[in-house]
């Protein structure tokens, strides 16, 4: 199996290597979604975290290319992308 950034970039139609620059080379691809994912928790290994646009979120083909879907449990409808990414990065590094 190829590293998560390669699979996700291919699904999104991004040029080779672009996702590596943006998010690294984790073996596990995790899509951060507003609803329907597992509650965000520290990953067991290196993770490639993918965060979408604020209103549209991630394209379905990108979410499908990810190994996991994670959601940040909040009382509000959702967090904006920068805040969600900040919380997710903190949680990923908390382990």
The pLDDT tens digits of the residues spanning 2-51 come to 567 677 777 777 655 555 444 555 677 888 888 889 988 877 777 788 88
Q: Which residues have C-beta within 8 Å of that of residue 68, sequence separation ≥ 6?
A: 28, 29, 30, 31, 37, 38
What CA–CA distance (Å, rounded) separates 30 from 78? 17
Q: Residues 32, 72: contact at Cβ < 8 Å?
A: yes
Give DSSP secondary structure letters for 32-44: E-SSSSEEP---S
- Whether pTM exceeds 0.75: no
What CA–CA distance (Å, rounded) separates 6 from 38? 23
The pLDDT value recorded for residue 20 is: 46
């Amino acid at each position: 199996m190829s590293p998560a950034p390669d699979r996700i970039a291919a699904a999104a139609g991004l040029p080779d290597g672009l996702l590596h620059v943006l998010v690294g080379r984790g073996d596990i691809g995790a899509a951060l979604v507003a609803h329907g994912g597992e509650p965000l928790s520290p990953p067991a290994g290196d993770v490639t975290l993918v965060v979408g646009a604020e209103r549209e979120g991630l394209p379905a083909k990108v979410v499908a290319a990810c190994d996991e879907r994670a959601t940040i449990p909040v009382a509000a409808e959702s967090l904006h992308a920068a805040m969600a990414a900040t919380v997710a990065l903190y949680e990923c590094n908390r382990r």
